[in-house]
Amino acid sequence: MDHDKKKPETLAAQGLGWIDEHTKAVAPPLHASSTFLRDPDNQYRSGRSYARTDNPAFDQPEQLLAALEKGEAAMLFASGMAAATSVFQALRPGDHVVAPTVMYWSFRHWLRDFADRWGLGVDFVDMTDLGAVKGALRPGKTALVWVETPANPLWHIFDIDAIGRLAHGAGARMVVDSTVATPVFTQPLALGADIVMHSATKYLNGHSDLLAGALVTRQKDEAWARIAAVRTQQGGILGSFESWLLLRGMRTLFPRVRAAAANAQYLAEALVKHPRVGQVLYPGLPDSPGHAVAARQMAGGFGAMLSIRVKGGEAAAIATAARVQIWKRATSLGGVESLLEQRASVEGPDTPCPPDLLRLSVGIEDKSDLLADLDQALSS
């Protein structure tokens, strides 16, 4: 049966249905070798010479992710940052890029610094405003538009289709960070993206036990070849064991993400009524500014990330975080366990986060336990 005829849930759960041809094992083997044997005439007819260039441990997770995103090819990286930065390192000095004002803070800081050193022009704009996006584009000069949606940590929703049309009209490529939406809820390539990026540390792996990143391309073109060269030359690749762990995590992607998103929807609807919560930021709420766009480009759920603003300001937010018992006070997101943190202190003085904001990564625990824990922490 062709992969295109199978549901993505089946592709993920069975890891594309691969069986080890030598042992007939259902679970994939772990390929740890860093080098591969030459033929007697000095050729590499196996197609492999060195793991930094072509590791067999990448084959299955890369092909699975490409299938889930409906792309032509995928590449694994040592981290989400390694994946994201490689896209910009493949640009040429003098190129212009457009990025959102609300995005993953560590990458925003890196981009500002790298752009200055590399000679890139960068405009950070409010991508909820299509007029602002259009105004920032420089036809013939803008090489790349970077989109992150839902955008961490305020969960703004950006219209992938509309921004992609603007980007392509100006001769630029569009890359979408779809870490929070995951392939479960959004297909950026089908909406017009040229490349989709994931911090695979998060939902793709789902167990908070490895660092990984990934890119998936709509087509293997010259720009994709430049990114591949950056990965090989700089060595920002994933290890064999980490690749094996990532594939293991991806096989439970759909039930994990759907369960966590259902919990997030429940919590958002409950917390919006809580007397100690001033605001709930979650695209699944009907009165969220991005709800209509999210409903159009996120099929079956709105993700498992939300933020709340605690009445009483920064001190009340930090005190609330200190009192949780089930929720864990920790950075990161996308694991099976629920995490929360006060983000402004993490991101520093240029953060878009108000100091009373708590970011919540909702896990797959019992939803009533999660709500009861937040309620006692907020109400104490």
Which amino acid, one-letter code, is at 93? Answer: P
Strand partners, 310: 277
Q: Is 52 a catalytic residue?
A: yes
Q: Is 50 a catalytic residue?
A: no
Active-site residue (options: 95, 159, 173, 202): 202
Q: Is 202 a catalytic residue?
A: yes
Q: Is 134 a catalytic residue?
A: no
Q: Any idea what DSSP says for residue 3?
A: G
CB distance 314 to 187 below 8 Å: no
Name the E strands within the chain. Answer: 73-77, 96-100, 121-125, 142-148, 173-177, 195-198, 213-217, 277-281, 305-310, 328-329, 339-342, 357-361
Residue with tokens 């549901």: 7
Strand, coil or helix: 313: helix
Active-site residue (options: 95, 177, 194, 356): 177
- Give Cα 156 to chain centroid, integer Å: 14
Give per-residue burial for 104-117: e unless 16+ CB within 10 Å, then b: bbebbeebeebbee
Measured distance CA(223)–CA(219) in Å, rounded:
10
Write out the catalytic residue numbers. 52, 104, 177, 202
